[in-house]
Chains A and B, each alone.
Chain A
């Protein structure tokens, strides 16, 4: 996506692409549709060996931390989009980044190596039932009881909920947000599996029923997690936008291949101007999507305060236009495009899912309006 990848990044992208093509081709993605978890742990460990899970740490022993982890991570996300790949890359990356940014040395040492090796999986329990993504409206509470933090409430749309070993929970205390790391098998944690329209991404409800964790499990300070949550959201949006770019780019590629060999009225269908012009518009949207995603990733790595606005702009733009590319490619593909047999629905599924998570483009546009109103 970035036009100026370093040689290491170029190599990283190539190994990522080759790995995905070899290990989870679309045929495998289709098989995983039937599976409970949507991916296999052994496969995830192999992916971890490529470095996917160590971009945000640990600093020692784990291959070294990247100076530009977000810009490296969007490379993986984009490739995953191209292959509508399985695997909890986004939630594991966000939790690892949160540990890197906010964690104590002990917290990092406890979890980062296991995340990096792929032995452990962690997910972010952020949103709440009813499509609630705005922390100001969260109902889940974190209440201090001596040196114990008590968590009560229900988190929804938690990715890889049934396969996660740990949850990073974002909850409310009286005067702010608090985040805590909770083991999935802790007392008072219930995971209810759910499914999504995606072939392989599974989600679940996670309920905390007076779950008690030591304050050493609190990430950052009690009631002081607001800025960290914001930064994690920005990272999630950057990864999601990169994935959307990969999804839309690949869909356009195979649609053009198909449309060049399919004929009507003695001509390839992509020679019709009505289609060519829409394809040109899609090219404009894709270029804009790449540009803004890239700018966001860079702003996050640079700790540029602009990332706050860029994240909303990116989701509003990419979250709208990339799914539109896929949707119009269905139209260009014709009737076969709405069958199970044709792969385009795999891409439409992922695009439609990503559009909705971490706030719709409409939600983000609303935030743009709010800050523009000043």
Chain B
């Protein structure tokens, strides 16, 4: 029998998997001290050894195991200080788009898209937000029209992280304008490289640099009908699934558990200049007054509690004490904590955080990071939207009143785009 073979009868136990994984990692996966492999090469290495898409069925390129096995794999990697594919685009592609296609794609779509995604050959991103708004995602106005045997796409998407380096975007668009907003949506796979009628522009971030996010213009982009993911009119359900995985990924939960959430003095902490471990360094090596020390302690405590919260929610989802949208709780916690961390770095570093030696622009200072720090409390659904979700969907409080729910979409009042 092939190791890890899953057929319902003979699923490898998590413990056996862990033993096999550790042995393989020790010999085959580079350590964090080795020269870094890019996430593409690492993903390929995992794929070739059937450690990619651990919880995906084997017929689509996965390992046919469960999310518990996936968690065990990445926990082992952290434990053994091994390199694993990292980076936001990887998380989005493998942790969010993959499971969404798995849930909503037809058998043919899954065969066509998933193996290349899991091998790391195709990187997928999300095309949801638009210039006219991101929170009210169901108000999408990018237009999908059927023309004989093909679809034609027109409109614009915005804030799409990684579009300039990705291969496919899953695009939420309107295919029916005569029904209320949630019912007229569809999702379609858009190839992003060299597609006629498609323009991709990077957006300049507040730091002054070209951001990781882009704006796309669709000008009669022609797509085969097989690129539809789900059915026509079911786009909202697909997008909801995608967002669920996005929130989970933000808290390192479920398919988005591609490494443990970092806390405190984690030896593998790659949390950058302003993560908890950097804050600790500031506390140790600088003169900090009591007020600053308290902020630093708060940030540290949040990081420990945040990691425990994610672990708890993940366990709860597994055993059934938690159901549904609990990823929003850890997403909200993590977003607030990260922003607070960056804010705290301003307090800890003072002038050193905003002025540096030399005439060149530097991006790795606290002030510049601060300028973009609200990105984390907006991306993936703003803090306010997460609070709506927690209060409405987890606690069952009344929904926000809305004026457009049951109105045909072509009669709904629409506002201005964020910028032209």
The residues of A with any CB-CB pair to B shorter than 8 Å are: 3-4, 256, 260, 267-268, 270-271, 273, 276-277, 279-281, 283-284, 287-288, 290-292, 294-295, 310, 313, 316-317, 365, 368-369, 372-374
Does the CB pair A291–B329 fall under 8 Å?
A: no
Choose among A3, A267, A281 the residue that contacts B321 (Cβ–Cβ < 8 A). A3
A4 with B293: in contact, given A276-B392, A373-B283 (CB under 8 Å)? no
- The 10 tightest CB contacts between A and B, nearest first, are A271-B398, A280-B387, A280-B390, A291-B308, A276-B391, A291-B312, A277-B387, A3-B316, A288-B305, A3-B321
Task: Tell me the dominant secondary structure on chain B's binding face.
Answer: helix
Q: Contact residue range for chain B?
A: 35 or more
| A289: nearest chain-B partner, CB-CB | B305
A268: chain B residues at CB < 8 Å are: 398
A317: chain B residues at CB < 8 Å are: 301, 305
Does the CB pair A283–B395 fall under 8 Å?
A: yes
Does the CB pair A281–B297 fall under 8 Å?
A: no
| B386: nearest chain-A partner, CB-CB | A280
Question: In chain B, residues 214-247, which have Cβ atoms closer than 8 Å to a Cβ of chain A?
Answer: none
Does the CB pair B300–A287 fall under 8 Å?
A: no
Q: A256-B397, A277-B387 are in contact. List 17 more A-B contacts (CB 8 A).
A: A4-B315, A260-B398, A279-B395, A279-B397, A283-B329, A283-B395, A287-B309, A287-B329, A288-B305, A288-B333, A291-B305, A291-B312, A316-B301, A365-B301, A368-B297, A369-B294, A372-B283
A3 with B312: in contact, given A368-B301, A374-B284 (CB under 8 Å)? yes
A369 with B309: in contact, given A267-B398, A276-B388, A280-B391 (CB under 8 Å)? no
Choose among B305, B333, B398 the residue that contacts A270 (Cβ–Cβ < 8 A). B398
Query: Closest CB of chain B to A51's CB: distance in Å?
Result: 23
Task: Tell me the dominant secondary structure on chain A's binding face.
Answer: helix
Does the CB pair A291–B309 fall under 8 Å?
A: yes
Instruction: Tally inter-chain residue pairs, CB-CB below 8 A.
Output: 111
| B306: nearest chain-A partner, CB-CB | A288
Query: Closest CB of chain A to B334's CB: distance in Å?
Result: 10
A372 with B300: in contact, given A3-B322, A280-B390, A287-B313 (CB under 8 Å)? yes
| A267: nearest chain-B partner, CB-CB | B398
What are 18 A-to-B residue pairs whose CB atoms are below 8 Å? A268-B398, A277-B391, A279-B390, A279-B395, A280-B389, A280-B390, A280-B395, A283-B394, A288-B308, A292-B305, A292-B308, A294-B312, A295-B308, A316-B301, A317-B305, A372-B297, A373-B283, A374-B284
Indicate with 1 or 0, residue by residue over B165-203, a CB within 8 angstroms of chain A CB atoms.
Answer: 000000000000000000000000000000000000000
Whether a CB of chain A sits under 8 angstroms from the CB of B400 is yes
